[in-house]
Amino acid sequence: MNISLIQFVVFTWVFLALPQPISYASRWHGSTDKLTNQSRTQILGESVSCEDSRLTGDYNCDGSINLNDFETIRRDYNAGDKNLKYFEFWRRAMFAKAIPTPTLTPTKPMQLPTPSPTPIVQSKQQLITEGIQRVSRQNIVNTVTNIADDDDKPGVDAQQTRYSNSGGNQVERAYIKREFENMGYTVTIQSFSAGSVSSANIIARLNGKNTSKYYALTAHMDTTAARSGTNDPAPGADDNGSGTSAVIEAARVLSSLKGELANSVEFILFSGEEQGLYGSDYYASRIQNPSNVLGVINMDMIGWNPPSRGDCVQFGYIARNGGNVLADAAVNIDKTHNIQLKSTSVLTNIMASDHAPFVRKNIKAIFASECALMEARIGTVQPNYHSVGDVPNTLNYSQIEKTAKTVVGTIIELAY
Amino acid sequence: MKKILLFVLGLSTAAIILFAYQYSSRATSSQLLLAKITYNTDVEFETAFDGSTSVHYFYEQPTTTDSYMISQLTTEQYDKLTSMGFIAQILETAPEMSNYLVVYTPQDVPASSLSVMGTTQELDDHFTLVKTQTEEQSLNHDSLAGPDIAVFVYDIEKPLLKPLYKTVRIESEYE
């Protein structure tokens, strides 16, 4: 039989437009070219890690739980795989058990559930509440004491320094790196040289659904004791073991939300701050697209106040920077979740910490610090500031814990 | 003959360009001033910011009144801003910006108590502009101004990008 070119083209288009048999439909699906359940088993052999991912709701094993997983389940279901257990795992992960299970019958293709905004808001609030509850004061105490002493083993012994160029800084950098890794993070050590400083920042990243856009939770981990005329020892419990411990504890709590937040989060511990914000300046200089950094919460000295002031940390924003939305969110979390930090969102002109390099680049960045530092009218300041007396047993751990709770809730609120 | 003519022409062009470049760069650097410019409104902020060569720090109250910026500007820019009614206090001519620090002292201390760090000028209560004497004396965040005075130091060498927002605050859903 002779077929003309036009007949051939028409035939081909009609064939492609028709519903495909199972053998075609189940081989590849979706724009992401993922293998379906059946073909995955037939062609690749089921991997244990993918099966584990499916049990957590990530059906197509791409590292995120979203509607693409549902699409894959639906296609496999229509192709003959009637095993619905993965749908249930996906549903629970996607909607945090907040909506009822849709009724599914074998004779009727599954319909895409339309999630209403309300369950997602409830789920977000549930995550915030659970996150806040998981912050541990004991973990914070452990971190402060571990980085203030002279080795990277647990327990307190002789004090040491974390001065930027010192061996102690390297020892505690290794300790912090290991802590992050134990939480499941991939850690980047960002070395830099500036002025007289040769040191490194520590960066742990929590990927969200969007891996480009991220919030940063920061503190500096280097110390000085210049007011005592030395830099060894320089235990730096309040300045800035307090902020460092809050970042690490927030990272521990938020590590369970991998892939669940809409945007990513970076936990950054800078060095070289005491010599002129060198570490944060270097980090900021490497940001290629500032619009990808959605906001920076920098904590510096959050562990002390005069007793009369009680637990009190202020979230300071710089004029015309737009950071007030971050500070307002933090105060809102403190109030609505009854954390009792007595926080306030205040305009500040203090640029002497690691938020400044971000502000210079028009990235929203705020500065969280103890009220005694922020409120000059109090007329006093941490008496052990930049001295050998800045040791762990002088801190108010309740205040640090409440600050960590507030920033955990704030990050979920903003990044979810 | 043609080659020689082209060579002479090229050499002359290069000499003219080099001369012009030297002249312009010399003129710019010799005429830069460091000034404290007072502003009271968003419009004034924008005008002063755009009218400066570079802005290195600004101090702002919630009401915006009596706010100021520390800027580098040419004499022409200075003349233009002052002719528009701006109060611009010249702090130095041909400043070396790496010598300048803004120092915050939570405690209530006079600016003169920071004189060990360099030449001081009070900007507001608790905020002082310090010009360090030499690069060797350039004191940073871990400065030792006195055993009982805690200082928080910001090096204003690097200029600020023009802010994206016109007001102190932007609309927030959390208020």
Q: What is the pLDDT of residues A108-153, one digit of tens each?
A: 444 555 555 554 555 899 999 999 999 999 999 999 999 988 665 5
The answer to whether B125 contacts A376, with C-beta atoms less than 8 Å apart, is yes
Q: Which of A35-44, A221-230, A327-336, B85-94 has the lowest mean pLDDT?
A: A35-44
Q: Summarize chain B as % helix, strand, coil (round to 5).
A: 35, 25, 40
Is any Cβ of chain B less than 8 angstroms from the Cβ of A304?
no
- What residues have CB less than 8 Å from A169, skipping those under 6 apart? A161, A162, A163, A199, A221, A222, A271
Q: Which of A93-97, A231-235, B11-15 has the lowest mean pLDDT?
A: A93-97
- What residues have CB less than 8 Å from A331, skipping those under 6 apart? A315, A343, A344, A345, B174
Per-residue pLDDT tens over the stretch A278-312? 999 999 999 999 999 999 999 999 999 998 889 99
B67 neighbourhood in chain A, CB within 8 Å: 319
Q: Taking all residues of chain A, what is their mean pLDDT, rounded to a whole number?
A: 82
A356 neighbourhood in chain B, CB within 8 Å: 154
The answer to whether A379 contacts B106, with C-beta atoms less than 8 Å apart, is yes
Indicate if the pLDDT at residue A15 is higher than 70.
Answer: no
Name the more confident of B152 and B17.
Answer: B152
Position A351 scores a pLDDT of 97
Size of interface A-B (CB pairs under 8 A): 117
Per-residue pLDDT tens over the stretch A196-226? 899 999 999 999 999 999 999 999 999 998 8
Per-residue pLDDT tens over the stretch B69-94? 999 999 999 999 999 999 999 999 99
Is any Cβ of chain B less than 8 angstroms from the Cβ of A380?
yes
CA distance A331 to A339: 10
- Å between B82 CA and nearest CA of chain A: 24
Indicate if the pLDDT at residue B96 is higher than 90.
Answer: yes
CA distance A398 to A416: 27
**Closest in B67, B144, B170 to A322, CB measured:** B170
Per-residue pLDDT tens over the stretch B59-70? 998 887 889 999
Taking residues B27-39, report their average pLDDT.
80
Percent of chain A with pLDDT over 70: 78
Indicate if the pLDDT at residue A82 is higher than 90.
Answer: no
Test the A interface: residue of B65, B152, B164, B173 with most A CBs within 10 Å: B152
Interface of B with A in 26-65 (CB under 8 A): 45, 57-62
The answer to whether B154 contacts A373, with C-beta atoms less than 8 Å apart, is no
Position A22 scores a pLDDT of 33
CA distance A128 to A125: 5
Stated pTM of the model: 0.75
Name the more confident of A338 and A58.
Answer: A338
Indicate if the pLDDT at residue A2 is higher than 50.
Answer: no
Is any Cβ of chain B less than 8 angstroms from the Cβ of A276?
yes
Q: Taking all residues of chain B, what is their mean pLDDT, rounded to a whole number?
A: 83
The answer to whether A276 contacts B155, with C-beta atoms less than 8 Å apart, is yes
Per-residue pLDDT tens over the stretch B118-137? 899 999 889 999 998 765 44
Q: Which of A12-16, B85-89, B95-99 has the lowest mean pLDDT?
A: A12-16
Indicate if the pLDDT at residue A180 is higher than 80.
Answer: yes
Position B31 scores a pLDDT of 77
CA distance B57 to A245: 31
Q: Which of A125-134, A206-215, A232-241, A376-385 has the lowest mean pLDDT?
A: A376-385
Asked whether B114 and B120 are in contact (CB, 8 A), the reply is yes
Percent of chain B with pLDDT over 90: 52
The answer to whether A347 contacts B62, with C-beta atoms less than 8 Å apart, is yes
The answer to whether A356 contacts B166, with C-beta atoms less than 8 Å apart, is no
Indicate if the pLDDT at residue A177 is higher than 60.
Answer: yes
Indicate if the pLDDT at residue B57 is higher than 60.
Answer: yes
Is any Cβ of chain A less than 8 angstroms from the Cβ of B167?
yes
Name the more confident of A341 and A45.
Answer: A341
Work out the angle between the directed axes of helices A137-148 and A167-182 (0-180°, nearest 10): 150
Taking residues A54-68, report their average pLDDT.
79
- Å between A30 CA and nearest CA of chain B: 38
Name the more confident of A27 and B129.
Answer: B129
